[in-house]
């Protein structure tokens, strides 16, 4: 999972989002999701912006900034790659090109550490 904090008024965010979308599309058949957490903007503003740029990631609204405070973000954009164990594996503040082959390899490498669905099902059935 990649959690990205952004806003439509943020120039570096507008620069970064197309690369997030390219990454999302390139991993659409993988167990990977991007959560695009919008900071303090209205639903209408976010919908217009997402529609205009073709943002297909899951968009969450952080209207009061509670999520940003919880995650400790102070600048936009801020991104966190979460591993299969739920721990932050990578973080980056500022615009970043998420669609490079090196980034894709790093993320798919994390996915290889995920337990198989069969193992996960077995573990949950044994409780």
pLDDT digits (tens, 9 = 90+) for 12-61: 999 999 999 999 999 999 999 999 999 999 999 999 999 999 999 999 99
pLDDT at 121: 42
Q: In which residue are the tokens 């439509």 written?
A: 8
Angstrom distance (rounded) from CA 77 to CA 96 = 9
Per-residue pLDDT tens digits for 61-108: 999 999 999 999 999 999 999 998 899 999 999 999 999 999 999 999
Give the helix/strand (H/E) hosting 3.
Answer: strand 2-6
* CATH T-level assignment (fold) for domain 2-125: Glutaredoxin (3.40.30)
Tokens of 45: 């503003």
The pair of structure tokens assigned to 125 is 């059935």
Task: Return the pLDDT at 115.
Answer: 64
Domain ranges of the chain: 2-125
Cα 75 from Cα 10, distance rounded (Å): 10
Confidence of residue 113 (pLDDT cuts 50, 70, 90): confident
Task: Give the pLDDT of residue 120.
Answer: 45
């Amino acid at each position: 999972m990649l959690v990205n904090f952004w806003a439509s008024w943020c120039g570096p965010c507008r620069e970064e989002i197309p690369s997030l979308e390219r990454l999302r599309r390139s991993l659409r058949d993988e167990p990977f999701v991007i959560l695009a957490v919008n900071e303090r903007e209205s639903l209408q503003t976010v919908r217009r912006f997402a529609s205009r740029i073709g943002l297909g990631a899951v968009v969450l609204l952080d209207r009061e900034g509670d999520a940003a405070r919880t995650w400790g973000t102070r600048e936009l954009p801020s991104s966190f790659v979460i591993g299969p164990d739920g721990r932050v594996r990578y973080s980056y503040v500022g615009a970043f090109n998420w669609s490079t082959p090196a980034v894709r390899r790093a993320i798919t490498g994390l996915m290889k550490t995920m337990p198989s669905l069969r193992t996960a099902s077995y573990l949950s059935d044994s409780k």
